[in-house]
Amino acid sequence: MFASILYIELFKIFRRPRTYIAFGAIALIVLLVQFALRVNGTEFIHFFTDSQADTFEIPEQQILNGYFVCVAILHLILIHVPLLVALIAGDMIAGEAQTGTLRMLAAQPTSRTTLLLAKFSASTVYVILLLLWMALFALFGSLLLFGQEDLVVFRETDLHIISQHDVLWRFIGAFIYAALALTMIASMALFLSVYAENALGPIVATVCIVIVFTIIQQLKVPVFEQTINPWSFTTHMLGWKGFFYVEKNAEGVTIDGSIENPMALLKSGIILVGYTLFFVSLSVIGYRKKDILC
């Protein structure tokens, strides 16, 4: 039964024109960034690396390769993708309540828990497809346009050079991690959707929550750094960067296949999964008790 309901939910998502806005937006942004880098790559490297590139003697052509462009694109747009996820997940229950289809749905011989879990799973599939789409354009598109070289990762006063043979699995890890983070956003939007009868409310609320916590995180003041930030989902959403921070040996050479702090990455992943389970559980409880009056 669950598979049937999941099929129905996915069918509804992908029959709606608005679903493709997110796919179109991602393709457009990625193509724009790639075009800009093709035309003004040098200026972008200075902007992106806070002019650190000048302090290291690496030829610009070597820095500006497909892998570097993909990391840059992830930095630029991954923080905005929650909005696109909220558009679908926030609409899941509240949108159906608004259009009146929720009462038709809730009168079917499917338990409310099954229905809600199917909706959550459909949102997760949407997130994964969105990220695969992004990977197609941002990673494979960039490799086609800019070629393949070692990846240079700039950090405050340091830089890591990752061998091109050691990069692909890191991107796969980063995209899987991003899927975890965006699924967490989907669960939050779904939770808000259960308690609303207008689709706009949970979508806007989700985006506002992400903005507020991002600002708190960026303030970097001790009061928030010690209390909120260690547990804030926005802190852990950026954990994907950890796949590109590598260990160095005594000679300062990066070690292939290593991650600088795998435990921090694991901890962030666990926190995101924890948030997801928390919001999904609250959504199930709320939806089971909900009187459908709309």
- 51 touches other proteins by CB under 8 A: no
66 HSE (CA, 13 A, CB side): 19
Q: Does 59 bind other proteins (CB under 8 A)?
A: no
Run of H or E residues at 152? strand 151-155
Q: Select from 2-10, 56-64, 80-88, 213-221 the region that touches other proteins (CB under 8 A).
A: 2-10
- Our finding on whether 110 is near other proteins (CB under 8 A) is yes
The secondary structure of 21-60, three-state, reads HHHHHHHHHHHHHHHHHHHHHHHHHHHHCCCHHHHCCCCH
Backbone dihedral region for residue 100 (phi beyond 0: left; psi -120 to 50: alpha; all else: beta): left
Phi, psi of 160 (to 5 degrees): -115, 135
Token pair, residue 175, equals: 């995209």
191 neighbors 124 (Cβ within 8 angstroms) = no
When binding is defined by CB under 8 A, the residue of 40, 108, 261, 281 that contacts other proteins is 108
Which residues inside 3-42 make contact with other proteins, applying CB under 8 A? 4-5, 7-8, 11-12, 15-17
Select 126 or 171, whichever has its Cβ closest to other proteins: 126
Is residue 1 near other proteins by the rule CB under 8 A? yes
Is 221 a residue that touches other proteins (CB under 8 A)? no
- CB closer to other proteins, 90 vs 242: 90
Which residues here bind other proteins, judged by CB under 8 A? 1, 4-5, 7-8, 11-12, 15-17, 99-101, 103-104, 106-111, 289, 291-293
